[in-house]
Amino acid sequence: MTRLLKSSSKNNQRGAVLIIMAAFLVVGAASFLLTGISQNRILLDRPIKNAAVFSIAKEALIGFALTSDQISTQLGLLPCPDLTGDGIAASTCGNNNQSVSGWLPWQTLGIAPTRDASGNCLRYAVSGNYKIGTTATLQKGPMPPRTPGQFVIHDQNNNAIGSSTFMLALILAPGKSFSGQNRALTGTTTTCGSTLPGAPINLSNNHLESFSNVNNADGTWSLAGGGLPGSLPLPTAIESVFIGAPKNIAAGFNDAISWVSPDDFSSVYNRMP
């Protein structure tokens, strides 16, 4: 009887050990699966996060244009970029009718600092004939036609998106930096950059990349002939070319882009005299 009890006790102990080991395996497997799901969720959330901040920025720009006649000469104008990362639009930017780029002026637009899925502040470019300070008189169409913007958007195959449409403004999400991009801070830190406009962290080429011969940092297309869209870097009065392509880490490209089109501006045109 004693031997039977001892044998039963040993079997119970072995069973308990097996149950505990099985429990550890289940917990470990669940943890692995949940970690994988969490990481995949983060990856899936990135375009959703960018789309959300793009929408906020776009609506704020349109809202600004709807009341620009209160601070400028006419309705329908857009702010200059922010050059230092403090969220405040520069009072002037570039020469007359020159398109320019910089940080999105979130404070001027009355919104919170806008950051992409990687945590970087959004960049912004505005057509020279739609920016505050232009001498151009905007036309709402249809007769005469609407004043075109100065930005052409290419897809990854260099086909123009909305080939007959020149966009009015662009919003760009830089993503994580690549080797060779210098986002170092010199000067005094601001929310997004530095009080020194020329500090590396404020420069577009340290945030935006080239892909398929198009450079989002300065709006050039290396295959463009003289005088054609993309033939001169920003700031310029000639139309610029930007690319909206899926990110390609191997090629060193992870920009995401959104834009304000003439169709987006319909509420603004409707308010024009």
What rounded mean pLDDT belongs to the chain? 86
Using an 8 Å Cβ cutoff, are 60 and 79 in contact?
A: no
Percent pLDDT > 70 in the chain is 83
Residues 6 or more apart in contact with residue 138 via CB below 8 angstroms: 74, 75, 76, 77, 129, 130, 147, 272
CA distance 239 to 244: 16
* DSSP category for residue 251: G
Question: Omega into 142 within 30° of 0, i.e. cis?
Answer: yes
Mean pLDDT of 117-143: 93
Query: Three-state SS for 9?
Result: helix
Q: What is the pLDDT of residues 202-231, one digit of tens each?
A: 999 999 999 999 999 999 999 998 899 999
**Above 70 in pLDDT, residue 243?**
yes
Range of the domain at 104: 2-271
How many folded domains does the chain comprise? Answer: 1
Question: What is the average pLDDT across 53-72?
Answer: 96
In tens, the pLDDT along 22-37 reads: 444 443 443 333 333 3
At residue 46, the pLDDT reads 61
112 within 8 A of 163, measured Cβ to Cβ = no
Give me the sheet containing 214-215, strands edge to edge: 210-211, 214-215, 220-221
Q: What is the DSSP letter of 194?
A: B
| pLDDT at 158 exceeding the cut of 90 | yes
pTM of the model: 0.82
Query: Which CA distances in Å does 140 have to 16, 86, 128, 148?
Result: 79, 33, 17, 10
